[in-house]
Amino acid sequence: MSEGVSFWKRTLALLLDVIIVNLIIIYPFRSVFVKYYGNITLEQSLRLGEVPVPSAIYWVIIIISLLTLMYFTFFDYYISQTPGKMLLKIKSISLKNKDQKIGLWDSLLKNCFVMPFFPFYIFWVVDPIYLIFYKERFLEKITFTKTVYESEKLQKKTTDYGEYKLNKV
């Protein structure tokens, strides 16, 4: 089996998924942001503490985060591919299960990087660095999953000694 999918192909797949998430999850909430932040200049938004954050915005961010987590988890768990991965002909597989299907909890943990809350946002830095050096994401390592090309199958090396009759020496 090859070493896996390149950093750039994975990044492009993630970028495509981020565009889809923006269109189907974040865009419908734009009116809430416009209501509170419609008249803010770029200069004001860059200065910390100048613009208060209403509690409604916090709730919207939590809802958007949960929906985004559901998006990635759903596609990884049920189809083994997000739409971005489908377009690039890559998929996620489990190294634990014989059928290579990712379990629900593994899929949830593997995709927790989308949550913009502590400690999850640490993975925004850890995952790409780990991927560059070790050719796999850190969250894939701890969930025993791997991103491979669609046509690639996991080849398990097994030895069946059932047909041999060994005598004790």
Residue 156 has pLDDT above 60, yes or no: no
Residue type present at position 89: K
pTM of the complete model: 0.76
The string of pLDDT tens digits covering residues 129-152 is: 888 888 888 888 898 888 888 886
What pLDDT shows up at residue 137? 86
**pLDDT grade for 1, boundaries at 50, 70 and 90:** very low
Lowest-confidence pick of 7-21, 42-56, 57-71, 140-154: 42-56
Q: What is the DSSP string of 88-102?
A: TTEEEEESSSTT-PP
Contact 66, 120 (CB under 8 A): no
